Chains A and B, each alone.
Chain A
Amino acid sequence: MSFDSFSDFLAMGGHAFYVWSSFALGLIVLVGNVVLPMLERKKLMAEQLRRIRREEVQS
C-alpha cells in the first residue's frame, strides 16, 4: 500500500482533482459502452416482436 490512510488515498498527494476526474470520465465511457448496446438490443428485440405480431394479425 503506498498510502497511510483512506483519506490519504482520496487526497492523491494534492492531485485528487486530476486523478479522480480522469477515472470518473473513464467509468462513464466504459459503462456507456456496455449499457448502450444492451439498450439497443432490447429496443431491437421489441421492435421485431411487434412486427411479427403485426404480420400474424394480418395473415
Chain B
Amino acid sequence: MAGKNWMPRWFYQLASPKWCYQITGKLLPGFAIATLLLIVVGLVWGLAFAPPDYQQGNSFRIIYLHVPTAYMAQSIYVTMAIAGAIGLIWKMKVADMVAKCCAPIGASLAILALATGAIWGKPTWGSWWVWDARLTSMLILLFLYFGIMALNSAIESESTAAQSTAVLALVGLVNIPIIQYSVYWWNTLHQPSTFKITEKPAMPPDMWIPLLILVIGFYCFFAVTLMMRLRNEILRRERRSSWVRELLMQQRG
C-alpha cells in the first residue's frame, strides 16, 4: 500500500504506547531543566529588575504570572481538541490519553489565570470581578474544562469516553477565538494582547523580554506535566501487557 505512506514514520510510532512511554522518559529531564531555568530567570527578572509601570506601579508585575497562565489555558485547550480529533479520526489510543491528560492541567491554569486576574483587577479597576467579555469567556473556558473532565469520568468505556469528550472539546473550540477577540469585539476593561505578530510590543524590552521567557517556560512546564500524566495513563491502561510487567519487575529489582 504505497498510498498509505504519506504520513511520517514518527506519526505511527506515536501510536505505540510503549514507544511513547520510552521517548517521554528520555525527554522529561531536559524539559524539566529548561522549565526550571526559564521560570526562575523570567520571575527574577520580572519581579525584581523590570521597571514598574508608570500608571499601575508594581501591581503590574502580576502580568508575569497572569499572561503566561491565561495563554497556556487556551493553548492547552487547543492541544486537547487537536489530540481528541486525532483520536477520533485515526482511532489512536495515545491521542485519546493525551487529550484526557490535558484537561486537569488546563483547568488548573484557567483557575490560576482567573484568580490572578481578579487579584490584579482589584487595585487596577477597583473590582475583583466584572462581567466583562474577556473575563466571562475565560470563565466559560474553565467550565468547558470541568464539563470535559466530568463527561470523561462519567463514561465507563474508555473509548466511548474519549470519543464523547473529543466531540465536546471540538465544539468548545469556538470559545477560543471569542476569548482572543473579545477585547476588540466588545467594549471591555481588559487591555488588549501584549504580544502581536504584526507589531512590536508597546512595552519597553525590559518589560516584555521576561514575559516572553515566562511564556516559553510555561510551555515547557506544560510539556513536563503532560508527559508525567501521560506516562501514568499509559502504565495504567497497559498494566496487563508484558512490557509493563517487565518494567515493574525491574523496579522491584
Chain A interface (Cβ < 8 Å from any Cβ of B)? 1-3, 9, 12-15, 18-19, 21-23, 25-26, 29-30, 32-34, 37-38, 40-41, 44-45, 48-49, 51-52
Contact = CB atoms under 8 A, between A and B. Distances in A.
Interface of B: 39, 43, 47-52, 57-59, 61-62, 65-66, 69, 105, 108-109, 111-112, 115-116, 119-120, 122-123, 221, 224-225, 228-229, 231-232, 235-236, 239, 244-245, 248-249, 251-252
Contacts of B62: 18-19, 22
B48 A22 contact: no
- Chain B binding surface SS class: helix
Nearest to B122: A18
Contacts, number: 95
A-B pairs, top 9 by smallest CB distance, nearest first, are A37-B228, A15-B59, A13-B58, A12-B58, A33-B225, A22-B116, A26-B65, A29-B112, A13-B57
A9 B48 contact: yes
Contact of A41 (B50, B122, B123, B231): B231
A26 B239 CA distance: 34
Nearest to A42: B232
Contact of B236 (A23, A33, A38, A44): A44
Contacts of B105: 33
Contact of B248 (A30, A34, A45): A45
B228 A15 contact: no
B123 A15 contact: yes
B58 A41 contact: no
21 contacts: A1-B48, A2-B48, A9-B47, A18-B120, A18-B123, A22-B66, A22-B116, A23-B43, A23-B47, A23-B65, A29-B108, A29-B111, A30-B221, A33-B105, A37-B225, A41-B228, A41-B232, A45-B248, A48-B235, A49-B251, A51-B239
A22 B232 contact: no
A38 B249 CA distance: 19
Contacts of A3: 48
B101 to A, nearest CB: 9
A9 to B, nearest CB: 6
B27 to A, nearest CB: 15
Contacts of B228: 34, 37-38, 41
Contact of B58 (A19, A25, A32, A40): A19
